[in-house]
């Protein structure tokens, strides 16, 4: 067992950390305030190869292993939780669907443009009545000539209002339950009947637009289907398994940001003629925050390492995401506590970390659903 990062992993961490400290951290409060998609930062990240980290260079990806990608995503999220979601939805979800289940033409045409950052990607699975219960979806794709007519709607789609390529799940056989779900590539600019209904006003995760989408008699050609009809549900689960590792990474990044900020504040803030870091109560909080962040990081590293080695990682990815998201919220909460009243104001980023951390407990499998997954895996072992 080797706990040391490889040379490549250290390099990606340091490169991304430098970019984040110089370009993202100074902008994070403004992104949070305006809730605007930071298109210029995406362009800069694309130039650094950060919009297609885990994909091969033949598709203009950075050719990194999945583990290095997770490390990079943790750094991005340390700067901005919203930016972390933008990159995770674009890469782990949309990009991975195309890489794993697209044919050669689909990869060349759609994945390459995602990797260069020319296009932004999204993953449209959830619906108003089908969140955890994916097979309850009602969006349909009915065969029509050499294509399909799509009708229905999707909710909560990260990057949904700005995406150029959306991997969409719809029922091609509404009576077949989970076996009746298929996946498709949607191109909002080309597909008549694609409608953005609006975006959510959220607690946190600002800068990443979360869109409601509608498809009104939207015709798409058959060659936009990913894989065979009926494979969509399994494709979605496989993609989300990998995605959970990066949501663990996002959580670790936010926890680290909350800890760093709380530590600096505790060393500067004086009460009773002492820096508050001199008080054992504060020291113990910092100790717990660091211990939890390190434990989450190790779970994230293990799950990423298993995926990189092509070994089973469903349970480990669920555990990494479950634990990292819960401790990220706890660490951010203690960060506010260490800041006292100031932590409850927008003058310090402590409250933003808390709002951003909370989301990781909800998307890509809620904590409750992940506990179900972990228990099932455990009982099947
Ligand atoms: C900001 C944001 C971004 C998102 N981005 C995307 C995206 O890009 N693409 C996408 O497709 N979706 C996205 N989602 C949707 C997200 O994945 C769902 O919100 C999530 O899966 C939960 O579904 P739900 O909101 O319908 O809650 P529900 O499924 O209604 O759950 C409500 C509560 O019931 C619990 N529950 C449900 N079923 C069970 C069960 N079997 N056992 C125990 N407890 C259960 C849940 O854990 C939760 O506590 C996003 C959501 C948010 C908030």
For the chain, helix, strand, coil in percent to 5 are: 60, 15, 25
* pLDDT average, residue stretch 291-295: 98
Q: Name residues whose C-beta falls within 8 Å of residue 158's C-beta, 6 or more positions apart in sequence.
A: 85, 86, 88, 89, 122, 123, 208, 209, 210, 363
Please report which confidence band the pLDDT of residue 346 belongs to, taking 50, 70 and 90 as the band edges.
Answer: very high
Q: How far is the CA of 363 from the centre of ligand 1 (A)?
A: 6
pLDDT at 147 over 80: yes
pLDDT at 1 over 80: no
pLDDT at 345 over 80: yes
The predicted pLDDT at position 315 comes to 98
Tell me how far apart the alpha carbons of residues 108 and 113 are, in angstroms, rounded to a whole number: 8
The predicted pLDDT at position 381 comes to 85
Q: How far is the CA of 51 from the centre of ligand 1 (A)?
A: 26
Could you tell me what percent of the chain has a pLDDT over 70?
A: 100
* pLDDT average, residue stretch 31-38: 98
**Catalytic (active site) residue 326:** no
Which atom of ligand 1 is nearest the CA belonging to 130?
A: 26
CATH class of segment(s) 7-120: mainly alpha
Q: Which of 132, 139, 167, 168 to mutate to test the pocket of ligand 1 (most atoms within 8 A of CB)?
A: 132
Which atom of ligand 1 is nearest the CA belonging to 364?
A: 17
Residue pair 169/183 in contact by the 8 Å Cβ criterion? yes
What is the overall mean pLDDT for the chain?
Answer: 97
The predicted pLDDT at position 359 comes to 98
Instruction: List the residue whose alpha carbon is closest to atom 31 of ligand 1.
Output: 132
CATH class of segment(s) 233-380: mainly alpha
* pLDDT average, residue stretch 309-321: 97
Ranges of each domain in the chain: 7-120, 122-229, 233-380
Strand locations in 248-337 (E): 270-271, 274-275
Please report which confidence band the pLDDT of residue 175 belongs to, taking 50, 70 and 90 as the band edges.
Answer: very high
Q: How far is the CA of 176 from the centre of ligand 1 (A)?
A: 23
Ligand 1 pocket: which residues have CB below 6 Å? 89, 123-126, 131-132, 156-158, 202, 205, 210, 359, 362-364, 366, 368-369, 372
Among 6-15, 30-39, 74-83, whose mean pLDDT is lowest?
6-15
Instruction: List the residue whose alpha carbon is closest to atom 22 of ligand 1.
Output: 131
Instruction: List the residue whose alpha carbon is closest to atom 44 of ligand 1.
Output: 368
| Catalytic one of 44, 334, 364, 368 | 364
* pLDDT average, residue stretch 203-214: 98
Q: How far is the CA of 262 from the centre of ligand 1 (A)?
A: 31
Domains 7-120 and 122-229 are alike in CATH topology: no
143: enclosing H helix or E strand: strand 140-144
Q: Which two tokens stand for residue 50?
A: 């950060």
Give the CATH architecture of domain 122-229. Beta Barrel (2.40)
Tell me how far apart the alpha carbons of residues 270 and 277 are, in angstroms, rounded to a whole number: 9
The predicted pLDDT at position 342 comes to 98
Q: Give Cα 270 to chain centroid, integer Å.
A: 38
Residue pair 184/150 in contact by the 8 Å Cβ criterion? yes
Which atom of ligand 1 is nearest the CA belonging to 159?
A: 8
Which atom of ligand 1 is nearest the CA belonging to 169?
A: 11
Could you tell me what percent of the chain has a pLDDT over 90?
A: 98
pLDDT at 52 over 90: yes
Please report which confidence band the pLDDT of residue 25 belongs to, taking 50, 70 and 90 as the band edges.
Answer: very high
The predicted pLDDT at position 2 comes to 79
The predicted pLDDT at position 103 comes to 98
């Amino acid at each position: 067992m080797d706990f040391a990062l490889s040379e490549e992993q250290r390099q990606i961490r340091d490169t991304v950390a430098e970019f984040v400290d110089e370009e993202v951290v100074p902008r994070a409060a403004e992104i949070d305030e305006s809730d605007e998609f930071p298109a210029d930062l995406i362009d800069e990240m694309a130039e650094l190869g950060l919009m297609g980290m885990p994909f091969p260079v033949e598709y203009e990806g950075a050719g990194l292993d999945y583990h290095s990608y997770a490390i990079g995503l943790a750094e991005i999220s340390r700067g901005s939780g919203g930016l972390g979601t933008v990159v995770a939805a674009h890469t782990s979800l949309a990009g991975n669907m195309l890489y794993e289940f697209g044919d050669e033409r689909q990869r060349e045409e759609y994945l390459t443009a995602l990797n260069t950052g020319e296009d932004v990607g999204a993953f449209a699975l959830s619906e108003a009545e089908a969140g955890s219960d994916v097979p309850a979806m009602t969006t349909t794709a009915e065969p029509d000539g050499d294509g399909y007519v799509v009708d229905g709607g999707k909710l909560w789609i990260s990057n949904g209002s700005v995406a150029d390529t959306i991997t969409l799940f719809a029922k091609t056989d509404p009576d077949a339950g989970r076996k009746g779900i298929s996946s498709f590539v949607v191109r909002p600019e080309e597909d008549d009947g694609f409608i953005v209904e609006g975006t959510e006003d959220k607690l946190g995760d600002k800068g990443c637009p979360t869109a409601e989408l509608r498809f009104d008699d939207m015709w798409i050609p058959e060659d936009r289907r990913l894989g065979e009809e009926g494979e969509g549900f399994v494709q979605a689960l496989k993609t989300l398994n990998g995605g959970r590792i990066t949501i663990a990474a996002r959580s670790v990044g936010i926890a680290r940001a909350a800890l760093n900020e709380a530590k600096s504040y505790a060393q500067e803030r004086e009460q009773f003629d002492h820096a508050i870091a001199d008080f054992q109560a504060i020291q113990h909080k910092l100790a717990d925050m660091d211990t939890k962040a390190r434990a989450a990081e190790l779970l994230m590293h293990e799950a990423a390492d298993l995926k990189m080695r092509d070994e089973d990682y469903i349970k480990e990815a669920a555990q990494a995401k479950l634990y990292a998201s819960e401790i990220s919220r706890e660490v951010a909460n203690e960060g506010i506590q260490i800041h006292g009243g100031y932590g409850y104001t927008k003058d310090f980023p402590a409250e933003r970390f808390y709002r951003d951390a909370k989301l990781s407990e909800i998307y890509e499998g809620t904590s409750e659903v992940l506990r179900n997954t972990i228990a099932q895996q455990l009982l099947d072992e």
